[in-house]
Structure 1
């Protein structure tokens, strides 16, 4: 198995700067600050501290004076034990381990981990002391967010609002507590709450308490609570459904049954009150996800006992479920929802079904009815432009296309095509200078990130890395991207470079590593290497040892079962699962599988890309629902799985940019979005 080069035995480039700074601070007359609070060295000093990267290997970093490498590794082990003690909420062990790390490079995290297990019992002054000590760091921001949630739980609104500051617009639960604090003083916050409370699965106690407070103070009407119940049913969120039912004076047990076991809830009858009927409609909507026929029969049978609005709500849930499976009856069901407010998900699926039918009048009407944040998303701006174009409103259409036109994303490329323009690679930017690279290497947040990557703590490293990028200029971002490249962090290089707006470096945004391995493999199979790189960029962002939650491994994220199947097909008799993390094996198996799905779908990149992500059987099912050729972009827009829909968009947009680089000429994404044909091949892939 290929191991990451970012190990404690091969420290990242920028840590050399830490040791250079260590030397500068030795013998200083004043007290030395914590290692991760050190100020950046001058550009000239730091430039001398950043050695060149040896070809084919990680940089060599000298040990700190008086700190043997063995001691550093021992401290790393202690830090990892500290982190685990915190995960186990063992305050005593965390305190003991933290005491053994007085000068650790991640001093702010040592302080944070010492405090975190006992945050519920901590005083405000204890927390503020840690915040003051590490103000302006990512971990201080994380601690402040956790402290705000604790203060909200305590209903300590005085301290909560003193600490809130810039976190007022942060995560949903903190925002719920912020509104709850104001509502507790009698302020009118219902309108803000309605705009905020749209995802019940993420509510937790803070948003549940806010809804209860607004109901108690009559800022939320019965209609507001019924809307929340409807959202909870759509999101399969049992807890919020139960709590909302109680606020409506209905049975929380029955609400839970409506979400979890809808057949049982439906068998108990429709009920007499609005709340009971709403719970019944939740059950109908949940049943529609498994049996459209049973849900439809139940709604039609009980329609006489429902109001016109309630019937429309029921049909909206059924239409939504029918749309997700691309049922031919979905459009008919949507016609029965006229006049009723739709959820955001319902509006989007109603639009997708209208696109599949070529019903541009409904496309326009539904997009224009979307709330502004949703309506302004690239997808719906583009499709509204297409509706204008269909109606002959060329000026309006072109104005919408100009709003989203960009070579850097799927809808931007489609808009460019509508405007008669293509995707071209920009000219190379001025190379990052040694002074610019040194400044990036001296950034304390990036230093901490590199230390976390060396410890193989990618999540913490990404958080620190992103924190360090805040407020950077275009040139500073390019320098940070180069620092990432020199440390074999190509995912960070790509993500960092994507933040620039004027100085766009395609060498950073669309790298082509391991070309010596990939090119002969792709060429031998007749595969478009731009498509292969577009897929790799989306799958793993070039992380060699990437592993997904479902077990996909390596650069091309090959599943073990798929790897075994492909290995058998190509005669790789010695294959074992651990070989998926070997670069050459991963590319060989991944590229061969790409070729197999491409052949299975008659060379259609849209279907093949969808099949690579969701499996060939699902792609065949979606194709099998077609009775006529469908525009490729509309097929992509209506892929039922949101993950696969986004995946296909990104892979095709990536591939278009890679083609512009490899072929050195303008490209159109339309060449990869040919109409999807309904005919299937007989061959079957797993």
Structure 2
């Protein structure tokens, strides 16, 4: 962090303190600020704290600022809830075609939807370019419904992630219920998903629509055992709440929930019993219990959530039931079934059935894609993973337009101020307009400005023109080589981990306090430093690149040794802590290939993390060794502690 930025932040702290006193605004004048950038930061802060008085004063002093669109945006943003449609429309018209105008349109559409101004909403929504706001998707369906259109199927396809709902989606559910497009069965499906996700505010709103007292919904979520003293009462809502409560009990102890369902099953309909077993099966699957497989079989005919569809297949993978893998994938909604993950595993299930030709066709459909399952598919079809032919290097003539591009230059300006949100907005806005050669040129511009994360993310967009020097950079190579050689650690794996952890942002800091290239937590840094005998270590040293690499690689080596040399387990440990992968391994009933272990990690973040790290590492190894690699070999086999990984224990493809 630059001295200049630190001073700017100090100024903001001072301003925040002053603003609590009457007349504080008049105490702030231009002399309080070191530069216009300093004042712009104060304007931004005022906007996000809904402080129009200070925002107006700062904006008035920035009439010559070189990014006027953001000055105007933050001025309006400070009083957005009270801004007139005319004021907002004038801003959008003035800056139409810019990233910040699209951001303002996003803000405006949220207000229009909230206020039910559907004519203006419908006029503006098709003009929203980024179109990535789930609330606006809900409002768009609500607008159609208000105009008499049937949108129930679209709504069911949209409303699958309760944690991402919010006011727009709540309003959509309420309207569809009040107007007969959502049935009680639809509401109970939503209630079960809310329970699966711990989304109690959604459950309370659904309870009102189902005439369930708020206190009763709270009991189901917080003290579900109270629902089972006498079993479900003889009413539809009581039986449905009983099923929801089963899922809540299963979060702690699936076997207890299974015993209760068996005891009271005669009081439930066939559909309710199936839904009850699905609730139990999902929680058992997330705990990696082998009993989950039997629960899923009993859940046949249930209304599954997207999570349940996927975990039914993951349970079958972990237990080696390829028939259920195939049937489970084929039963998924098309949007899930067509994801590369399930394309690959469907191919594996067909291969296990002996349908080799059909499996090869499925593998071939994704084998050219540069990701974990593309790599595995390539190997299934008998090839190893190499580095594609490198695109023709970007010429000075191709780079020149990027260096003059106003949107990219604005992004660079924001990055220099450490305003990454604004920088990403401007950078990604421009990328929408580029072809593949221009992507590579923009990536090269990012490299020149030491923005390796932008270089990687921009270059990753290409499908035909590939430059792996951009996608898989190797900064600090000398320090990395020296450190990994001393430890006997695979440098390709370390680079693969850094690419996933920080995207090579030297000053990266996570929400939980992890720092630097290798995203080391303060407690971990102290622990490793002590183990290494670094007596004079102080926490601030973790931000020094060389120190970060030394601490991170030593910690990685520790967890690798502790977990028997498995990169799959050690990568999981680096992300989730060593105790969790040990517990996940302990739940195994047999050795499994590393890809199955990775796919069945119960934490979404860690599951994606392990796949990405080992996929990255395989490409890095191909770059370093200049020969094709095997991701399957890198994943290896994960064996329950104390069990032998003899050939008799392993699938045929692992024996080879």
Q: TM-score normalized by structure 1? A: 0.87
Partner of residue 569, structure 1? 531
Partner of residue 88, structure 2? 127
Q: Deviations over 1:36-94 (max 9, x none)?
A: xxxxxxxxxxxxxxxxxxxxxxxxxxxxxxxxxx9995101111101111111011211
Q: Match for 2:140 among 146, 158, 178?
A: 178
Q: Match for 1:301 among 231, 241, 263?
A: 263
Equivalent residue runs for 1:355-504 within 5 Å: 355-406=317-368, 408-504=370-466
Partner of residue 525, structure 1? 487
Q: Does 1:110 align with 2:110?
A: no
Give the whole-Å Cα distance in 2 for the aligned partners of 1:469 and 1:293. 52
Partner of residue 24, structure 1? none
Moved more, 672-681 or 344-353: 672-681
Change (3 A) 1:507 1:73: farther
Q: Is the 8 A contact 1:324 1:640 kept in 2?
A: yes
Partner of residue 159, structure 1? 120
Partner of residue 205, structure 1? 167
Partner of residue 54, structure 1? none
Q: Is the 8 A contact 2:456 2:470 kept in 1?
A: yes
Partner of residue 621, structure 2? 659
Partner of residue 195, structure 2? 233
**SS state at 1:404 partner:** coil
Give the whole-Å Cα distance in 2 for the aligned partners of 1:408 and 1:490. 19
Give the whole-Å Cα distance in 2 for the aligned partners of 1:606 and 1:4. 38
Q: Is the 8 A contact 2:189 2:303 kept in 1?
A: no
Q: Considering only aligned residues, what root-mean-square deviation do their CA atoms show, in Å?
A: 2.0
Partner of residue 643, structure 1? 605
Change (3 A) 1:315 1:486: same
- Give the CA deviation at 1:566: 1.0
Give the whole-Å Cα distance in 2 for the aligned partners of 1:579 and 1:330. 47
Give the whole-Å Cα distance in 2 for the aligned partners of 1:364 and 1:636. 19
- Give the CA deviation at 1:140: 0.9
Give the whole-Å Cα distance in 1 for the aligned partners of 2:101 and 2:223. 44
Change (3 A) 1:91 1:314: same
- Give the CA deviation at 1:264: 4.3
Q: Match for 2:60 among 99, 114, 133?
A: 99
Change (3 A) 1:593 1:587: same
Q: Match for 2:300 among 334, 338, 350?
A: 338
- Give the CA deviation at 1:238: 1.1
**SS state at 2:79 partner:** helix
**Higher RCO (CA-CA < 8 Å; seq separation 6+):** 1
Q: Is the 8 A contact 2:48 2:77 kept in 1?
A: no
Aligned residues: 619
Change (3 A) 1:268 1:159: farther
Q: Does 1:605 align with 2:567?
A: yes
Unaligned runs of 5+ in 2: 8-30, 644-656
**SS state at 2:65 partner:** coil
Q: Is the 8 A contact 1:200 1:231 kept in 2?
A: yes
Q: Deviations over 1:217-240 (max 9, x none)?
A: 111112111111111111211121
- Give the CA deviation at 1:641: 0.9
Partner of residue 638, structure 2? 676
- Give the CA deviation at 1:270: 2.5
Partner of residue 580, structure 2? 618
Partner of residue 288, structure 1? 250
Unaligned runs of 5+ in 1: 10-69, 682-686
Structure 1 consecutive aligned stretches of length 4 or more whose deviation exceeds 6 Å: 4-9
Q: Is the 8 A contact 1:351 1:367 kept in 2?
A: yes
Q: Is the 8 A contact 1:316 1:337 kept in 2?
A: yes
Q: Deviations over 1:491-530 (max 9, x none)?
A: 0000000011111001100000001111000001111110
Q: Is the 8 A contact 1:563 1:580 kept in 2?
A: yes
Change (3 A) 1:324 1:468: same
Give the whole-Å Cα distance in 2 for the aligned partners of 1:6 and 1:403. 52
Change (3 A) 1:407 1:228: closer
Equivalent residue runs for 1:233-252 within 5 Å: 233-252=195-214
- Give the CA deviation at 1:6: 10
